[in-house]
Structure 1
């Protein structure tokens, strides 16, 4: 048995400087900036959300701006296999930590490990 849930709304930003996008989305969504430079490389910023809300992450990207979802799981292989069984396809394994997937609808999303200390609430149990 493994578990998964919607983890993160990722705002992909095709920009030179993520600070402007972070300020905009922080004000637009009424969420303070939790971390303006999450990994110290200028590629990720996080907005503050409540413990029972999805995380909101801004990501500096080279592709056109869009929004994608992250699904977190306590068993990456099992969740990827489950989603493949539903028709998703693997696109890329990134930093040996998460999978970029593509839904049958053409939407890209990521399958990641746990993003918070506990993977609940709103947890799905599979298997």
Structure 2
């Protein structure tokens, strides 16, 4: 048995500097900025959301700008296998921390470790 839920909306941004985009999305969504540089490498910024809302991240990328979803889980491999059985494909295991997957519709998404201390509401249980 494992658990999973929608965890994050990630704004993949093909830009040289995330700051302008972070300030735009912060104002557009009415969300304060938690950090302009989450990991110290200029690749991730985070907006403040409540515990029952998805995390909103901006990620600096080399590919075309798009939005992707993160699904958090307490068992990454079990969740990736469950999603494969539904028709998704594993694309890459990144930094030995998360799976990049592709839905049958062609949309990319990530399966990540649990991101907040408590899973909170909207949790799915898979046997």
TM-score by length of 2: 0.99
Which runs of 5 or more residues in structure 2 are unaligned?
none
Q: What are the residue-to-residue correspondences of 1:1-127 with 2, within 5 Å?
A: 1-127=1-127
- SS of residue matched to 2:119: coil
Q: CA deviation at 1:47?
A: 0.1
- SS of residue matched to 1:50: coil
Which 4+ runs in 1 deviate beyond 3 A? none
Counterpart CA distance in 1 for 2:109 and 2:120 is 20
Does the 8 A contact of 2:51 with 2:120 survive in 1?
no
| RMSD after superposition | 0.5
Q: CA deviation at 1:120?
A: 2.2
TM-score by length of 1: 0.99
- SS of residue matched to 2:80: helix
